[in-house]
Structure 1
Amino acid sequence: MSPKQQRGEVTADLLLQAALRVFVEQGEQKVTVNAVCQASGVSLGSLYHHFGSIDGLFVALGHRWLGRMLEELTGSLVGARDARSGIEAVVAAYLRFTQEHRDAALFLHSSYAERYGWAQGRAIRDAQEARLSPVAAWLDPLVAAGEIAPLPQPLVESLILGPVVAVARRWLAGYGDVDLDEAARVLPDRIWQALRP
């Protein structure tokens, strides 16, 4: 990689970090090109050069963190011995990611990310499916072997991730009534009850 490319990557990374920081500290309404440039120390021209717009910057931010989260989820399945241990691993990985990367999780679970997801539904779904192919590769043989109820894959994914996402959102909202460690212990068994054949 050339020095110019390295500088470009550093600049893009500064902008992404600043965008997340502004989003978390000041809220979605305060995320402007000027606020991100001021927080990053990067020029307006550089933001437009790398991302095209503030929306382009947040699209890149979403892809970055969604990619990291999905990598952790798929990586958690490597040592799974069976369907139940895989569910435990995925639940634990999701909740651990939420706790360890709270700011990114706030963004990924935000109304902004949700609105973007609906507007860019097909593109996001295609990107997620590519990243989730290891999960599908893990699930399909389990369904075929009768270890998991024979449901369409989107329903299986929803039964696994739906409760976990709801708990993560509640914890991120700061209600103070959700313990992620307890959820990691309790949810896998409840999810397994819904998925077992």
Structure 2
Amino acid sequence: MSPKQQRGAQTAERLLDAALQVYAESGEQGVTVSALTKASGVSLGSLYHHFGSVDGLMRALLLRWLGRLLGELAGGVERSRTAKGAVRTLVRAYLTFIQEHPDASRLLHSSYADRVGMAQAAQLRDAQEARLSPLTAWVRRHTESGEIAPLAAPMVEALVMGPIVATARRWLSGIDDADLDQAAHVLPERIWRSISP
């Protein structure tokens, strides 16, 4: 990578870091060109050069953190020897991720992320294909072996991820009754019952 490319990559990283900081402090409405350039120390021209728009920057930020979350989940699944063990690992990895990265997790579970996800589902899936492949392969492998009930992959995804995401959203919203330790203990067995044959 040339020095110019390195500087460009560093500028893009500063903008992404600043975008998360501004989002965490001010919410979606606070993510403005002025706030981003002030927080990052990067010029308006650089923002547009690297991301095309504030929305382009926010989509890139969303993809960055979605990729990190999916990477954690896929890594856990790949290390698990059984389907039941993988469910336990998924629950713990997801809940640990939101505890360690609450600002990014609030973005990932935000109405903004939901809107982008609904409008650009195919593009997001394509952009994260490398990280989704191990999860898809896990479902297929354990369904074919009979360890998971013969359900369509989207149904398995809903049954596994639905309770985890709902718990994460409650915790991230600050609802007092969202106990992640209890969820990490209870959810794996309950989820396993929903997908076991």
Query: TM-score by structure 1 length?
Result: 0.97
CA contact (8 A) 2:78 2:134 kept: no
Deviations 1:115-167 (CA, angstroms, capped at 9, x unpaired): 11111122113334442111111221211111110000011011111100000
List aligned pairs for 1:19-38, cutoff 5 A: 19-38=19-38
Mapped pair 1:143 → 2:158: no
List aligned pairs for 1:1-197, cutoff 5 A: 1-197=1-197
- Unpaired runs of 5+ residues, structure 1, are none
Structure 1 residue 179 displacement after superposition: 1.5
Distance in 2 between residues matched to 1:58 and 1:29, nearest whole Å: 12
112-121 or 183-192, which deviates more: 112-121
Distance in 1 between residues matched to 2:126 and 2:162, nearest whole Å: 19
Distance in 1 between residues matched to 2:126 and 2:4, nearest whole Å: 32
Q: What SS does the aligned partner of 1:71 have?
A: helix
Distance in 2 between residues matched to 1:30 and 1:103, nearest whole Å: 14
- Unpaired runs of 5+ residues, structure 2, are none
Q: What SS does the aligned partner of 1:6 have?
A: helix
Distance in 1 between residues matched to 2:158 and 2:130, nearest whole Å: 17
Structure 1 residue 23 displacement after superposition: 0.7
State the AA in 2 paired with 1:61.
L
Q: What SS does the aligned partner of 1:176 have?
A: coil
Runs of 4+ with deviation above 6 angstroms = none
Distance in 2 between residues matched to 1:170 and 1:160, nearest whole Å: 17
Structure 1 residue 78 displacement after superposition: 2.6
Q: What SS does the aligned partner of 1:78 have?
A: helix
Distance in 2 between residues matched to 1:128 and 1:18, nearest whole Å: 23
Structure 1 residue 59 displacement after superposition: 0.8
Query: TM-score by structure 2 length?
Result: 0.97
59-68 or 177-186, which deviates more: 177-186
Structure 1 residue 187 displacement after superposition: 0.3
C-alpha root-mean-square deviation of aligned residues, in Å?
A: 1.0
